[in-house]
Structure 1
Amino acid sequence: MDYETFVDRVSERARTAPERAAELTRATLETLTERLTGGEVLDLAAQLPKELQRVLKPHPATEAADRFGAAEFVARVSRRAGVDGNLAREAVCAVFVTLREAVTGGEFDDVVVQMPRDYRDMVEPALAPGATRR
């Protein structure tokens, strides 16, 4: 999937303008980079367009994931994108569904495994049958 298609699908799913969807995608992926182990970030980035690979860069000093819950994840996305929490949560769900659609094999499942139970509401829409159908 190319960058424009990725952003367009996030825009559609989050019901926001493409420019805002691009900001929300960046904010979500930056936050996801903090939440995943460095190796998983690299595995995920390898399957995404170059524009998104630049966002998914693990910190070179650590392989460990920063352990924070779903509420903090949404708060970080909200701050990074300069939007309210409701839009941030919708966007995170939209990005997760689009990520699942964009990557092959079990890569999305590998990402989900690193998320604690309180992420369920944001991740389950991506796992639902037909979630990636347009």
Structure 2
Amino acid sequence: MRYDEFLAAVAKSGGPADREHADEATRTVLADLGKRLVGNEPRDLAAQLPSEMQQPLLQHDGEQETDDDLDAFLRRVAEHEGRGCGPEDALQHARAVLSTMAGFVSAGEIADLRSQLPAGFAPLFE
């Protein structure tokens, strides 16, 4: 999979239509997601993604996010994405990124990813 194909799929899934904004949203969602993952999961997931998507998952500084609140996650994504993005926009963007990613990586890897997320994050994969 090429990154431009991924961004086009994100746009079709309800994410930002502008390529630059879709890139920003994708990197932001992955960076905030990477902070929630432990063990080898960030590297395992990154290995199945285009190189442009790997760094955001792997840049995690060691401080794991442990809250179980989807709303808090979405507020962080909105804040980090900027562009006047609010939590509703962040929900739409996160859903577009993660549902698109689920179509590009193995089902086993998505199951591993989901096993590290609280149950409340399930709507992001629909």
**Do both share a fold (TM > 0.5)?**
yes
Q: Residues 31 and 73 of structure 1 are in contact (CA less than 8 Å); yes or no, is this contact kept in structure 2? A: yes
Q: Report the CA distance between 1:105 and its aligned residue.
A: 4.3
Q: Which position in structure 2 is the counterpart of 1:14?
A: 14
Q: CA RMSD in A?
A: 1.6
- How many residue pairs were aligned? 122
Q: Which position in structure 1 is the counterpart of 2:42?
A: 41
Q: Which position in structure 2 is the counterpart of 1:54?
A: 55
Gaps of 5+ in 1: 126-134
Q: Residues 31 and 59 of structure 2 are in contact (CA less than 8 Å); yes or no, is this contact kept in structure 1? A: no
Q: Report the CA distance between 1:61 and its aligned residue.
A: 4.5
Q: Residues 14 and 21 of structure 1 are in contact (CA less than 8 Å); yes or no, is this contact kept in structure 2? A: no
Q: Residues 15 and 96 of structure 2 are in contact (CA less than 8 Å); yes or no, is this contact kept in structure 1? A: no
Greater CA drift, 37-46 or 51-60: 51-60
Q: Report the CA distance between 1:10 and its aligned residue.
A: 0.8
Deviation track 1:61-90 (CA, whole Å, cap 9, x = no partner) reads: 46xx42122111111110111111111100
TM-score (norm 2): 0.88
**Structure 2 Cα separation of the partners of residues 90 and 78 of structure 1:** 11
Deviation track 1:78-122 (CA, whole Å, cap 9, x = no partner) reads: 011111111110011111111111112400110011111221222
Change (3 A) 1:15 1:29: closer
State the secondary structure of the residue aligned to 1:102.
coil
Q: Report the CA distance between 1:58 and its aligned residue.
A: 4.9
Structure with bigger RCO (C-alpha 8 Å, 6+ apart):
2
**Structure 1 Cα separation of the partners of residues 3 and 95 of structure 2:** 18
Q: How does 1:1-134 map onto structure 2 within 5 Å? A: 1-16=1-16, 17-59=18-60, 61=62, 65-68=64-67, 69-82=69-82, 83-123=85-125, 125=126
What percent of counterpart residues are identical?
33
Q: Residues 31 and 76 of structure 1 are in contact (CA less than 8 Å); yes or no, is this contact kept in structure 2? A: yes
Q: Residues 23 and 81 of structure 1 are in contact (CA less than 8 Å); yes or no, is this contact kept in structure 2? A: yes
Q: Report the CA distance between 1:59 and its aligned residue.
A: 3.5
Change (3 A) 1:88 1:60: closer
Greater CA drift, 11-20 or 83-92: 11-20
**Structure 2 Cα separation of the partners of residues 96 and 105 of structure 1:** 13
**Structure 1 Cα separation of the partners of residues 88 and 107 of structure 2:** 31
